[in-house]
Amino acid sequence: MKEISIDIERRTEKRQHESFLVRYSGSTDPKNETTTFVKFAATFNVSESGLCFRSPMPFEKTHRLTFLCDELWEGEREGVVRWCNILHPGIYKIGVALL
């Protein structure tokens, strides 16, 4: 018998299913805070509590990132990676909870 999975929406905020250009930065090695990067990405969706974006690099769960997008927020927002899925070789879909 084939197993059927049902995704249950746990968010209470409405998601904006728009693509925004965000700048994200962080440490390439969470154990070595001095090695940092800055990249730009397009979002899949955004809500008050999180965002989903595509990245050329994968991130481990709990990796902390800093985001900047003048269209969405005033100043920078901190976030923590909640999940990372591969879309295609070299392209990842990243889910982040904003702090």
Q: How much is the pTM?
A: 0.81
C-beta contacts of 58-64 below 8 A and 24+ residues apart: 58/84, 58/86, 58/92, 59/84, 59/92, 59/94, 60/30, 60/84, 62/30, 63/26, 63/30, 64/26, 64/27, 64/30
pLDDT at 12: 64
**Which domains can be identified in the chain, with CATH numbers?**
21-98 (2.40.10.220)
Kindly report, residue by residue over 37-50, the tens digit of the pLDDT.
999 999 999 999 99
Q: Please report which confidence band the pLDDT of residue 17 belongs to, taking 50, 70 and 90 as the band edges.
A: confident
Kindly report, residue by residue over 50-69, the tens digit of the pLDDT.
999 999 999 999 999 999 99
Alpha-carbon gap, residue 38 to 32, rounded angstroms: 16
Considering all CA atoms of the chain, what is the largest pairwise distance in Å, rounded to the nearest integer?
Answer: 52
Q: Is pLDDT at 5 greater than 50 in this prediction?
A: no
Q: Is pLDDT at 10 greater than 80 in this prediction?
A: no
